[in-house]
Structures are given as C-alpha cells and as structure tokens.
Amino acid sequence: HQDFVIHCKRVSDIYEAFNKGKLAWVPVLESLNCIENEVDRVDVLYGLGLRSAGLVYSESNLLGSGLRERCDGGLTDFGYDVVVRMNKLGMLLDISHGGDQTVLDTITESKKPILISHCGSRTLTPTVRMLPDEVLMSLAENEGVLGIEMAGAMVSTAKNPIANLEAYMEQLDYCIELLGINHVGCGPDTMYGDHLGLYRAMVKRSQ
C-alpha cells in the first residue's frame, strides 16, 4: 500500500517506475516447492503477481535436483510440465540453485530464455554453488542471462582467495569473455543487514 512502490507485472511497469522515480518491485520465489505436484498452482502464483521463480532451492523436489545433492537426476517429467506452463504464462525461469544437469535440462527444454540470477563460473571458484563453463555457455547459446554472485565467500578465486570486490570483478570479466556482454549482468544476492557476516558465520560453523 506504499505509494513509492510499483508492483511490476509487465515490462511496461518497470519503465513506469523508472520514469516516475519509484521503486520497481518484481516478486519472485527461489523455489517452487509450494506447488507440490500440481502444475495449476503455477497459474495461482502468476495470478497473485509472481513473475519469476526458481524450480529448486539447493535441495531436490518433485521438479528436479538441487546443487547440494550427491546425485543429480536432472529435470523430472513434472519439472518439464512446469517449464512448459511457465513459458506459456510468461513467467521467468530462474535456476540458480539447481544441480548441473537440472540446470542444463531446464535451459534445453525451455522455449524462452531463462535466467541464472546469482551464480558464476566453477572454473574460477571451484564450488557446487557455481556452474561449469559448458552449462553457462549453453545458457548464452539459448539467449539466457547470468547474474554474477557476490554474497559471502562464494566468489573467492585462486588469485583472490578471500572473497572481495577484486574476486567479484575477476568473475565478471571472465564470464563476459566466456559468454559475451549481452549475457552477463550483476546478481549480487545480498540482503538487508550484514549479509557477509552471515556467510562468515556459516563457514565458521561448518569448520
């Protein structure tokens, strides 16, 4: 109900917010766990104003495998049905937390370009949180866009072992060279508060 925010349901709403100096809010979900095994629930979410969603969030669900799993079974038959429905509705697919094969399957099966909103190259940052270059190249070949991850220790590299701005720019430069400038943006994956402190605490707890 705040008048400085515009709930953006179409591209023209984003332009309107910019022209009026207001905040453009595009509601998203990082995982579609909530639809369980009902494709029609995607329509319900769209009707509520959702315009972008991820299929999985790090762990597997009925749609596909997450990046934390030991084995990646790829996109399921149900996941394929959801991809088809999202394409039909005009809902943006974001597969940032999927396993390698699940991401690749989603890129291949989607009839429209998809988004990997916060990730990077595993060549520079060898962790499952990043993706192999061949997957990123498939994204670009299918007109998708990659947003380079920033949060916490996720972007440390051999040249910059402590995650910092230099490491981030190293990832950005590498992915632009790999994919082309039209397929790379910034997806910092940050939130209000001390996001970096949260990641440091998580790393410390895991040691």
- Concatenated DSSP letters of 148-174: EP-SGGGG--SS--S-SHHHHHHHHHH
pTM: 0.90
Q: What is the pLDDT along the chain (207 residues), one digit of tens a residue?
A: 678 999 999 999 999 999 999 999 999 999 999 999 999 999 999 999 999 999 999 999 999 999 999 999 999 999 999 999 999 999 999 999 999 999 999 999 999 999 999 999 999 999 999 999 999 999 999 999 999 998 756 788 999 988 888 999 999 999 999 999 999 999 988 776 777 677 777 767 866
Pairing of strands 145-148, 115-119: parallel
CA–CA gap between residue 63 and residue 85 (Å, rounded): 13
Residue 148: exposure state from Cβ atoms within 10 A (0-12, 13-18, ≥19): buried
In angstroms and rounded to an integer, the radius of gyration of the C-alpha atoms of the chain is: 17
Count CB neighbours of 48 within 10 A.
Answer: 8
Q: What are phi and psi of 174, to 5 degrees?
A: -65, -45
E strands of the chain, at which residues?
5-7, 23-25, 28-29, 52-54, 92-94, 115-119, 145-148, 184-186
